[in-house]
Amino acid sequence: MVTCGVALLSACVITGIFVGELLGKLIGAQANIGEHALRRALTLSMEAVSPTGPAG
């Protein structure tokens, strides 16, 4: 289960970075827009729909 959790977190981090950079380029900013918020939202949503349910 630890491997699955690390893979999930890694996927959310990479997706958050990619989407944050994309949003920054779309609005013309030299910044990563909302990376942390996107990453956290993805992690929480993926955890909620996981087959084992939310942790804790």
What does the pLDDT average to over 26-45?
82
**Which DSSP letter does residue 10 get?**
H
- Integer Cα distance of 48 and 8 in angstroms: 12
Q: In terms of pTM, does the model score above 0.85?
A: no
Answer whether 40's CB lies under 8 Å from 15's CB.
no
**For the chain, which residues make up each domain, given as ranges?**
12-48
Encode pLDDT of 9-35 as tens digits.
888 888 888 888 898 899 998 888 877
3-class DSSP assignment, residue 38: helix
